[in-house]
Amino acid sequence: MDPYRVGRGIQICRRTFMLKSLSGQFALYAAGLFLLVGVGVGSWTLASYQTYGEEVEQRLHRGLAAHMVYDNKQLKQGTIDASILKDAFHTMMLLGPDWEIYALDTTGRLLAYSAPPGKVLRQRISLQPIHSFFAGADFPLYGDDPRSATSQRIFSAAPIENAEGKLTGYLYVIIGGEQWQTLADMLATSRVLQDSWRLMGAALLFGLVLLVLLFVLLTRPLTKLVRRFEHFTQHDFSRRNEPEVRHHRWTPAEVVSLNQGFDVMAGHIEHQLEQIKTTEQLRRELISHVSHDFRTPLASLQGYLETWLLQSAEQRQPQLIEVALKNARQLNLLVEQLFELVRLEGGDIRFNPEPVVVAELAYDVVQRLQLMAEARGVRLRVETDIHQQQALADIGKLERILVNLIDNALRHTPAGGEVTIKIAAANDAIYVAVADNGCGINEAEVPLIFDPHYRASNSVNGEGANTGLGLAIVQQLVALHGSEIAVQSSQQQGSTFGFSLPLAS
């Protein structure tokens, strides 16, 4: 994945879809919430204002119907005559143009009214609100509006009784007419409500702006963290040249933890990438070395076999087959060492420690390699004063260590030289060393001789040449025993490879 494209994509998304950012979404949600709150509070205020206004108006006109009955001679006597009351209602409405006056019988049926013909939609209304009015119920009280099939309005009511005190009907007065019927009418005609709405809108807007600014300040550390991610991806997953991150006293603890977590994650990614690059480099070097190591014995093997085939049956020389066989064995040894090194580095190898008499094992190895040493003119011997001391080791792998170290020493020791296996007690361990008085190793090259395929300046060419894997295998095998191999060397004086093994309990 191209880190530049990743970072560029983040920038484009941030610029194009601002509402997808945390601050943008919060501003949008806060604006919507404030709008809903404003509408809700405003509607509640208008409804409360209307209710309060109706309550006040109903209280002020509580005795209106009773005064009309008292002032009208026919009603005062308990007479309800529509033809006579029509003129009386007209006169009453001159005093209150917003009133609607109705005369009812004792069942709630309309007998006379002040409304124009065709305006009345109900001929009977419920008497329950009227009885509640007489019983002193809390205002506002709403009764049926004869001009509407469903709505109710505030009213004033009074009983109509004859001279004997018998109830003959009710005078029912709708207060306020039709002009206060909607909230919109109230808002359009009330200066107080208009100013209240403006003030409430300004307060909500100010609160919204203040809240968004506060949220932006609180999320600024998160924005900086996003920029750190962008910088990290744009610079090949590296924190090089990253601006210094500073936390203030008021920085939220969660944001500090996020930044610390990012540092841990980024460091882990950087370490892994570095390991990948190193592994890739080692892989390429290994392939290069293996190709070179394979090429020489294969070319030699092929050359000798082709020469042997080109000769006639009578002239074919067995020496050619012997040399070809030697190269084949060298090639097989290289493959075996490669597989062994891969298993050691991958941890895919069994380690079975047991009590081992190190001196006896050393004598066995010397005896096996004695012919090789004599062929080179080198003296091979064991030097020890602990012949029965046991160490805790894997006998097969310890033998492999000794063979590789002795083979390395023999190849770098000239004729007349000496290779010594030294075994001695050292505190709670047994010290094992292979020393020679050969050509020695350059001091600068000592740390490199355990790298696979590294060829030191004292490398031996020709028959004594090796693959360069022997010491790398030794280092891995010694590490399996919980130890480290140490090297002491001086040019033209010789080298000593030593390590320690734990005593067997």
DSSP string, 408-436: HHHHTS-TT-EEEEEEEEETTEEEEEEEE
- Residue whose structure tokens are 């005593």: 503
pLDDT in tens, 430-477: 999 999 999 888 888 888 888 776 666 656 544 444 556 788 889 989
Residue 22 has a pLDDT of 63
Burial group, residue 178, by CB count within 10 angstroms (0-12, 13-18, 19+):
middle
| Residue 219 within a domain | yes
Question: Which residues have CB under 8 Å from 368's CB, separation 6+?
Answer: 403
- As a whole number of angstroms, the distance between CA 262 and CA 245 comes to 12
| Residue 183 within a domain | no
**Same-domain pairing of 449 and 366:** yes
Please, are residues 109 and 77 in contact by the beta-carbon 8 Å criterion?
A: no
262-263-264 Cα angle (round to 5): 90
**Same-domain pairing of 222 and 314:** no
Residue 247 in this model has a pLDDT that exceeds 70:
no
Listed residue (118, 135, 125, 131) closest to 104, CA to CA: 125
**Same-domain pairing of 389 and 432:** yes
Residue 180 in this model has a pLDDT that exceeds 50:
no
**Same-domain pairing of 218 and 300:** no
Average pLDDT over residues 340-356: 78
| Residue 242 within a domain | no
Q: Last residue of a domain, which of 297, 318, 349?
A: 349
**Same-domain pairing of 305 and 400:** no
Q: Last residue of a domain, which of 297, 326, 349?
A: 349
- As a whole number of angstroms, the distance between CA 218 and CA 255 comes to 10
**Same-domain pairing of 382 and 494:** yes
Q: Last residue of a domain, which of 144, 174, 204?
A: 174
Residue 184 in this model has a pLDDT that exceeds 60:
no
Please, are residues 32 and 25 in contact by the beta-carbon 8 Å criterion?
A: no
CATH code of the domain covering residue 318: 1.10.287.130
**Same-domain pairing of 210 and 126:** no
| Residue 57 within a domain | no
Computed over every residue of the chain, the mean pLDDT equals 80
Residue 478 has a pLDDT of 92
Residue 155 has a pLDDT of 93
- As a whole number of angstroms, the distance between CA 78 and CA 270 comes to 103
**Same-domain pairing of 44 and 193:** yes
Strand segments, DSSP code E, in 132-213 are 142-144, 152-161, 167-174
- pLDDT grade for 181, boundaries at 50, 70 and 90: very low
pLDDT in tens, 125-140: 999 999 999 999 999 9
By percentage, how much of the chain surpasses pLDDT 90?
27
Residue 222 has a pLDDT of 74
* Greater model confidence, 377 or 324: 377
By percentage, how much of the chain surpasses pLDDT 70?
78
pLDDT in tens, 274-297: 888 777 776 676 666 666 566 666
- pLDDT grade for 359, boundaries at 50, 70 and 90: very high
Average pLDDT over residues 58-81: 86
pLDDT in tens, 257-267: 888 888 888 88
Average pLDDT over residues 80-85: 79
| Residue 239 within a domain | no
Residue 130 has a pLDDT of 93
Question: Which residues have CB under 8 Å from 374's CB, separation 6+?
Answer: none
**Same-domain pairing of 328 and 441:** no
Average pLDDT over residues 223-244: 76
CATH code of the domain covering residue 73: 3.30.450.20
**Same-domain pairing of 17 and 153:** no
The strands making up 486-490's β-sheet, listed across from edge to edge, are 379-384, 418-426, 429-436, 494-502, 486-490
Q: What CA–CA distances, in Å, run from 345 to 231, 292, 337?
A: 36, 21, 12
Residue 150 in this model has a pLDDT that exceeds 70:
yes
Residue 186 has a pLDDT of 58
**Same-domain pairing of 344 and 449:** no
**Same-domain pairing of 391 and 462:** yes
Residue 177 has a pLDDT of 52
| Residue 143 within a domain | yes
Residue 326 has a pLDDT of 72
Q: Please give the single-letter amino acid code of residue 8.
A: R
Quickly count: other Cβ atoms within 10 Å of residue 197's Cβ: 16
Average pLDDT over residues 356-385: 94
| Residue 97 within a domain | yes
User: Of the given ranges (130-134, 228-232, 349-353, 420-424), which has the lowest mean pLDDT?
Assistant: 228-232
- As a whole number of angstroms, the distance between CA 52 and CA 5 comes to 65
Range of the domain at 19: 3-52+188-234
Residue 187 in this model has a pLDDT that exceeds 70:
no
Backbone angles phi, psi at 349, to 5 degrees: -155, 140
| Residue 182 within a domain | no
Q: Domain total for the chain?
A: 4
Residue 383 has a pLDDT of 95
